Structure formats: structure tokens, C-alpha cells
Chain A
Amino acid sequence: MSVSDNPGPFFRIEALRQSFDGHPVLRGVSFDVPRGKTTVILGGSGAGKSVLLKHLNGLMRPLAGSVQVEGNDINDLSERDLTPIRRQIGVLFQDGALFDSLTVGENVAFPLREAGDRNEDGIRYRVNEVLELVGLKGQEWKMPGVLSGGMRKRVSLARAIAGRPACMLYDEPTAGLDPILSENITRLIAEMKDELRLTSVVVTHHLGAMRFLADQVLFLKHGEVRYCGPAAGLDDSDDREIREFISADAMGRT
């Protein structure tokens, strides 16, 4: 079933469990990611946010539970069978994960070439197009090693959207950036969603980014879902952990 034909959620996560060295990291996480909307996964450090994100495209396999992408359970798929699904899902990794041995242009062109595109003129055009979209036009000959943290994130974002994915996963997109760069990246994510009509999942612990981006919020604590619903509802939650998180963030901003 193609993206447009499927009326259900883009991702359906059911009773997901994961543990490392006997230490539980995800404890029966269940939620849906609606198509074309932005879901923000919120929580403190060590809550299991990034681990949960890596289950969505099969980078990690759960101990129990299921991950459905477009209605297809991906748990039992081989790496090879996951390829077409993964190519629908762009990922912005926490530190960019750019390939150090390739230039900016080669990094952005990488997913296009790997998907079998042999039209070099078309690839060049697309690389320029997405680099312009992230405000890095003309930087294609630079090596990742000479880029600032913010530029690396933007190149990584350009690489992730180059293959025109139906969905984007963002792992801590504003971590380690100054407030101005954080705001730029957050705005860029919002623009991507609006212009490209992407389904987005954003992992963050910044409430400001969450309020700007979220159509739906999932609050994780110790691998458990404490809240799943609209962003506005989070402030009305009675959960002590959520209230502490919100008040700590407010203190951090004052």
C-alpha cells in the first residue's frame, strides 16, 4: 500500500520493550504517529527517547512488541527487506553523522546515488536545491570537518531530505547549539513539515521547541509513556514528573 492510499497512522507502536544488560529502557511503549503531523517525544536524559526513535526505522530491534510502518510490521524484516521502508524515512542524527571522507555535496548526494539515481546533472540540481533550502548554498565543496555544529546539522538535514522522504526522524536536533541556532533549526524543521508535508518525529528535551513544533506530544519517563496527546494538554497534566519537568524548564529559562 502506498503512502497516499493508507489511511492509518504512519507509525503504530505497540507494547514496545527494550533493555540493555538487563536494564529496562523501554517498558511497553504504545502510541501512533499520525500521517503529516509532528509528534514530539519529550523527556529527560536517559528516558529512552533516542532508543525509541531508533526502533522506528529498524535501526534497533525490540525485545517485545511491534513497530508498524505504513501498516507493515517491520520487526521480522531482514536488513535488505527494510531498505525500501528506510528510504521513505529520513533521519537527522544527534551529531549529524556526516561521512567525514566525503564533501558536503557528496554527503547530500549519497542517498540519491545509493537509491540508484545515475543522472549526475539531476543529482547536482537536487543537491543545490536542498542546500539552498537549509541555507548552505555554495558550501558543497567543504569537508564536514571544517563545519560548525549548526552547519553540520543543516547539511545532515539536507542529506536526510534529499531523497524526498515521506517521514523525518529528528534526534535532538537542537542539542549542543546556541539559542539562535536552535531557533533556526527549529524553524527549519517546521518549514520542512509545511513545505514538504512530512510526517515528523522529533526527540527533544526542549519545551520551547516542543511548543513550536508539536501536533502531538509523547512524554517518556524511565521508558514509560506518561503522556500522549496534544501539546496544550501537557501543561494541564497531573503527573508529578511532568510538572517537575515543566517547572525545571521554566526555571532554566529565567
Chain B
Amino acid sequence: MKRMAGYLAASVAGPVLGLLTYLGQVARLLVEVLASLLSLRIRWRLVLAQIVAIGIGSQLVVIITGAFTGAVFAAQAYFKFSELGLGSATGPVVSIAMCRELGPVLAALMVAGRMGASMAAEIGTMRVTEQIDALRAMGVSPLDYLVVPRVLAILVSMPILVGEAILFGMLASELLTVQLFGVPAAWYETQLLAHTGVPDILTGLIKGTFFGGLIVLISCHQGLITSEGAVGVGRATTRAVVYSSLAILISNLFLSLLLNPLLPTVTMDF
């Protein structure tokens, strides 16, 4: 019995200790990034290059994701609401869902899949091929050179990408609801504008920016701790995407609970 309890304690303690160590390492990276930002050692040319890679490079995938999510959500909402004679509620429901949840979460998941993987692979490859040692040997901080530009670029890009995901989701929803289901455009738009406020959009942008921070910290951390050659790079890339996605989905719940009282949605009245 005693032996079994010991085995159970060890099997629980190991992963918990591992998780705490991992969170500590990411938190330390965050502190170092903040210190670097405060010391204003910013390489603007690299920031610009990363904005192009993250922001401009992710446009299409985020727009397509936002548009089709908005459209399919509108279709499902309309099918159910029209049975209750509430077809006109489709617009506000889709817009609030897109602004507060779907827009930021799906845009972040797309960026995590696209850029998180790329960051971990690039930095991980630099690590195993001694390019990071070469930077240090030349007196260049890998943090200033590799991590800080990506952090700044994602903080600039994510609100724009989330805004686009929301916008195209709402446009696709309107297109489907008005053109296919025959809800009058004026009625749809009046309802949508009446029930979508600045707090909804702000919630989406705040969440998106926070998720961007998570993606870049987790992915860069995975890259920086890569070892064991090509296998290690593959492992780091997978972990960056999985950990980023989990962090986005888990933190979204807490952000929703935190932001809803601070930025309440407009009361619905049909």
C-alpha cells in the first residue's frame, strides 16, 4: 500500500514538477524580453521583416478562416433561430461570437500553426547548427536578435489579423443570411449594429494580442531549448504548435471570465 502510494506520488510529482519548471522557463524568457524592451535595444529592421512574415504572410489564411467560420456559424444559427421566428438574431449572435471568441481564437490558432511552427523550426535549427553560439560569440544577444523582434511584430500584427478575421466573418455571415436565406439586409444590419459594441471588438483585439504573446514566447522558447539535431527540431516544432494551441484555448476561458465583466456586451432585445 505504502509502495503504491509512493509510486502514485512519484507519477504525479514528475509531470507537475516538469510543468512548473517549464512555466518558470517561459516566465523567465518573458522577464528577459521585457528587460530587453525597456532597454530599447530594438532592431527595427528585423521587426519590420517579422511583421511582413507574420502579419502580411498570415493575411490569406486568417481571412479565409474568419470568412468560412462566420458563414458556417451564421448558417447553423439561422437554421435554429428561424424555427423560433428569430432569424434576425443571426447577425448579432454571429458578430458577438466572432468578436469575442471565434475571431481571436481561430486567428491565433492559425498563426500558431503557421508562424509558431516556423519560429520554433528556424530558431531550433539555428540552435543545433551553432548559429546561436555564433551570435553570442560575436557579442550579439540571441534574445535581442531573434526573440524581441518577433514579440514586437506579433503584438503589432495580431490585432490587425483578429480584426480582419472578425470583419470577414461578419461579411460572410451577412452575405449568406441576406443572399441565401432572404433576411432583409437593412434589418440584418440594424440588428447587428444595435447589438455589437466597442467592448465586443475590444475584447477580441485584447484576446488576440494576448494570444500572440503566448505564441511567440512558447515558440521561441521551444526553439531556444532545441537539442539533438533534426529530430529535436521536429520535436520543438510540434511542441510549439501543440503548446501554443493549448495555451490559447485554456487562457481563452480565463480571459472571457475576466473581460466580460470589464467589457460587458450590449443587452440583446429583439
Contacts and interface: CB of A to CB of B under 8 A. Distances in A.
B108 to A, nearest CB: 26
Interface residues of B, number: 13
A59 B129 contact: no
Contact of B133 (A87, A97, A110, A114): A97
Interface of A: 54, 57, 59, 79-80, 82-84, 86-87, 89, 91, 93-95, 97-100, 110-111, 114-115, 163
10 contacts: A59-B133, A87-B138, A93-B130, A93-B133, A95-B129, A98-B131, A100-B125, A111-B138, A114-B138, A115-B139
A79 B144 CA distance: 12
B134 interface: yes
Interface in B134-176: 134, 136-141
B136 A97 contact: no
Contact of B138 (A79, A86, A95): A86
Contact of B139 (A83, A94, A95, A99): A83
B139 A59 contact: no
Nearest to B128: A95
Contact of B141 (A79, A91, A95, A110): A79
Nearest to A89: B137
B137 A86 contact: yes
Contacts of A99: 126, 131, 134
B68 to A, nearest CB: 33
Contact of B136 (A84, A86, A95, A100): A86
Nearest to A156: B134
A89 B139 CA distance: 10
A187 B138 CA distance: 24
A94 B3 CA distance: 50
B134 A91 contact: yes
